Amino acid sequence: MTSLHSPLPVRLRKLGVYGVSLVAGLSAAWAVHEHIQSREAELARQAQVPTQERVVVAVDLPAGKPLGIDDLALREVPLAWLPAHSFGAEAVDEVLGRKLATDLKQGEILQPTHIAATEQPAPSERVQPGRRALALTVGEIDAATGVLRTGDLIDLFVSFAHHGQRITSPLATGVRVLAMENGPDPRALITLDVSEKDAIKLVAARQAGRMTAVLRHRQDAVVAGNAEPKDLAAWMGLERPHEVQRRHVPVLYGDRVDSQNWVFESGSEGTGGRPASSGAGGRSTPAGDASKQEK
């Protein structure tokens, strides 16, 4: 007879238990793996620092060295470490050729304070061939430091004593200001772009006269250098009090008028209205002598 209790169901039950345990184990392992991966991702996200690409020094550099392309590099720098001012990749061309103001170590972030200020060209380098750069003090040319600026055009006038009179004359026109020291000090220098001839005139005027600078418009083509030197009375159109005024007085010889006339100077110094010269040819005879000859 066949037994009612076959071993097959028992084995199936055992296999079912093993299968369930295996599935549960695999599920637990997968869950742990997913938890670990998510935790790693979270930690990586938390550890990630925002950065920005900045220009750094590739090698140790001394102060005064012009920056070359081999002296610089690009590096991702955390935003928290960035200085207030630095250079990005787009600014590399701006710093090439510039000189360093301080020593820098490899890897240091390049900053504007590390760059030496751009040197202004010397005034002599801005003067064209055949021209001269003449430095005068502001007090020597009566120039207002608050008005004049580098690049302005000025006219220069000189006043000087000549034969007991104060003469004013144009000295140079359209003179360009190369450099200007601002400030109230009358010893502040002003450098002018002049020709060699004007330079000599200005030096002479500085020694023997008083110069005045007058600001002019850049497009003003009026030339004042051909004006005639005059004193103040002449510029104002006034008659000089010592100016000689001459009149001709005919000399009578009996019943005729001599063609030779006395010329009297009125108001001239030392003459007192006396005859100064005679007319055309021959020796002049006073009217009193002529009446004696007639008698």
Chain segment 180-210, per-residue pLDDT in tens: 887 667 788 888 999 999 999 999 988 888 9
Chain segment 34-88, per-residue pLDDT in tens: 778 777 777 666 667 788 999 999 999 999 999 999 999 999 988 888 888 899 9
Most confident option among 24-38, 62-76, 118-132: 62-76
What's the predicted TM-score (pTM) here? 0.43
Give me the pLDDT at residue 231, please.
59
Give me the pLDDT at residue 169, please.
87
CA atoms within 13 A on the CB side of 216: 21
The alpha helices in 84-161, defined as continuous H runs, are 92-95
DSSP code of residue 100: B
Closest CA to 154 of 208, 203, 225, 204: 225
Give me the pLDDT at residue 268, please.
42
Chain segment 134-186, per-residue pLDDT in tens: 998 888 887 766 678 888 899 999 898 888 888 888 888 899 998 888 766 77
DSSP secondary structure letters along 23-91: HHHHHHHHHHHHHHHHHHHHHHHHH---EEEEEEESS-B-TTPBP-GGGEEEEEEEGGG--SS---GGG
Give me the pLDDT at residue 74, please.
93
For residue 288, give the H/E element and its range: helix 287-294
Looking at residue 66, its amino acid is P
Burial of 206 (0-12, 13-18, 19+ CB in 10 A): middle
Cβ atoms within 10 A of the Cβ of 60, count? 12
The domain segmentation of the chain, as residue ranges, is 51-114, 123-235, 245-294
Most confident option among 111-115, 225-229, 247-251, 290-294: 111-115
The fold adopted by the segment(s) 51-114 is Type Iii Antifreeze Protein Isoform Hplc 12 (3.90.1210)
Give me the pLDDT at residue 114, please.
93
- β-partners of residue 156 are 172, 213
